[in-house]
Amino acid sequence: MDGRDAVGGLVTARFADRVRAAAQSVSGSQVRDELNTWADGFGLLADLQRRGATAPAGVIEDRNRVLEAGDAIYGTAAALRRTCPDAWPAGH
């Protein structure tokens, strides 16, 4: 296994595209910016899934990019939850 996930990367990239498209229909700049940041995180994750770790020298860079993607995805999800608390399913 080479660490690449072309299918997962494609699915994640499509999700990022959908989030970006949804952001364009939002009138509030805070939510729009948060959605775009969230999409950026998923876009970075998709790139990592598609190409995987390419060389031992790239491991540190890839680790940093995974952390960056995680911060964008999970940090922005928390921000969106605070901004739009009624948009989340009950119990989550």
Domain contains 59? yes
pLDDT in tens, the chain (92 residues): 455 566 778 889 999 999 999 999 999 999 999 999 999 999 999 988 887 645 455 666 778 888 999 999 999 999 999 998 888 777 65
Q: What is the value of pTM for the model shown?
A: 0.78
Domain contains 41? yes
Q: How far apart are CA 29 and CA 65, in angstroms?
A: 26
From the list 16, 53, 51, 56, the residue with the least C-alpha distance to 36 is 16
Residue 12 belongs to domain spanning: 6-84
Domain contains 22? yes
Domain contains 91? no
Total domains in the fold of the chain: 1
Q: How far apart are CA 56 and CA 79, in angstroms?
A: 35
